[in-house]
Amino acid sequence: MKASLLFGALLACLPAGGAEVLHVYTWADYLSPEAVKSFEAAQDCRVVIDTFDSNESLYARLKTGAGGYDLVFPTSYMVQLLQEQGMLALLDHAALPNLQHLDREVLAKVHDRDMRFAVPYTVGYAVIACRPDRLRGVTASWAMFGRNDLAKRAVLLDDMRETLGAALKSLGHSLNSRDEAQLAAARDVVIGWKRSIAKFDNEGYKAGIDSGEFLLVHGYSGDLFQVAQENDRVQILVPTEGVTIGCDEMVIPKSARQPALALKFINHLLDPEVAAENMEWLGYLCPNREALKRVSAEFLKNPAIAIPGEVKARSEVIDDLGPDLAKWTKVWDEIKAAR
């Protein structure tokens, strides 16, 4: 009886029709249905997607050995940590001919520039959006948050790395600074901004800038792109001092059961036609030079998608701070306690 039950359970776990199954772990709404469907048809397989809401929850799940995932989409700084801990498989470049389409400027910004363990998927930026119909004299600068006429109708991201990073950039420093004097100066800048903002927030800024409740917000390019598409009174500005580059990458855990199929999916997502359709659906930039030639003119008009080259040169990917994280946490606690 027990043997029969076990056999039945094993059969239930097998994919219908014997098709291979690719298990993907990614952010919510981060793969277009068409990109997935076309891959399943081409490979006669199924793609099963689970989602996470933070790099930290992704890390915790992989660290415990749970999930059995074949392909994962962490942000660059988390890739660095996973790589250092020996949790990632080396990538076979012979199976990835579409790597040739990737933007070398983006590769220069990430930790694994040779793509030994990770391949860039999307690039997003933390930028600002404003309502020029209600706020005069707008400029593409982090200094906007120091204005005296915001009357508590501005929002900064409730994210230590993003908001302190913006202050560091406003002072001409690296957003990955470990220098205590520079961090103290950035703390004072954010405390000054704090007097003009309604709150620190990671979600409500989208609806707030759309409705006009907020006149100036700090947010993620993909989110603000979607708001600006629906509301032409919302203007996106990319601060000329430089911004954070959030590069999410594709990696294969060492524990993957279908590493060959995962490589095929990476190569599929790098196909210019697939990448073009996928990025327009996402609202985020895929750093694929050939794909960018295939997207609509409207998509490229948004400054959150194609930032100026000189600004991109001053922008940085967030690094893992290691033991210096404690310096940042101390400063962030002081900002939150300040009145």
Do 173 and 128 sit in the same domain of this protein? yes
53 has pLDDT over 80? no
**Whether residue 115 is found in the same domain as residue 22:** yes
Average confidence (pLDDT) over 311-321: 87
Same domain? For 23 and 172 the reply is no
- Quote the CA–CA distance of 210 and 212 in Å, as a whole number: 6
> Mean pLDDT: which of 16-30, 272-286, 300-314 is highest?
272-286
Q: Does residue 241 lie within any of the structural domains?
A: yes
Structure tokens at 92: 């076979």
> What is the number of other CB atoms lying within 10 angstroms of the CB of residue 35?
22
Query: Which residue, chain included where needed, has tokens 């470990």?
Result: 178
Residue with more model confidence, 67 or 323: 323
Cα separation values, 206 from 101, 149, 210, 222, Å: 33, 21, 6, 11
DSSP for 230-273, please give it: H-TT-EEE--TT--EEEEEEEE-BTT-S-HHHHHHHHHHHTSHH
Looking at the structure, tell me whether residues 182 and 239 fall in a common domain: yes
Is 1 domain-assigned?
no
Q: Is the per-residue pLDDT at 66 higher than 90?
A: no
CA distance 191 to 22: 47
The answer to whether residues 181 and 313 belong to one domain is yes
Residue 6 resides in a domain: no
Q: Classify 303 as helix, strand or coil.
A: coil
pLDDT by residue (tens digit) across 181-239?
A: 999 999 999 999 999 999 999 888 999 999 999 999 999 888 888 888 889 999 999 99
Nearest in space to 127 (alpha carbons), one of 16, 217, 53:
217
| Whether the predicted pLDDT of 3 surpasses 50 | no
Q: Is the pTM of this model over 0.85?
A: no
Looking at residue 91, its pLDDT comes to 98
Average pLDDT over residues 277-284: 89
- 273 close to 262: Cβ distance less than 8 angstroms: no
- Give the pair of three-digit tokens for residue 215: 């006149």
DSSP assignment letter at 203: S
Query: Do 185 and 295 lie in a common domain?
Result: no
The count of domains in the chain is 2
292 with 308, same domain: the answer is: no
In this prediction, residue 117 carries a pLDDT of 98
Collapse the DSSP code of 124 into the 3-class scheme (helix H, G, I; strand E, B; otherwise coil) and give the result. strand
Both 25 and 53 in one domain: the answer is: yes
Rounded to an integer, the average pLDDT of 109-124 is: 91
Distance CA 145, CA 196 (A): 7
pLDDT for res 15: 46
Residues 153 and 35 in one domain: no
Helix axis angle for 180-194 and 160-170, nearest 10°, is 100
Cα distance between residue 274 and residue 294, in whole Å: 10
CATH of the domain at 33: 3.40.190.10
In a domain, 8, yes or no: no
- Position 318 scores a pLDDT of 85
Q: Assess contact for 302 and 227: CB atoms under 8 A.
A: no
Residue 281 lies in a domain: yes
Same domain flag for 86 and 137: no
H/E stretch holding 70 = none
Kindly state whether residues 211 and 323 are assigned to the same domain: yes
Note down the domain range covering 171: 124-245+302-337
196 and 277 share a domain? Answer: no
3-class secondary-structure state, position 36 = helix
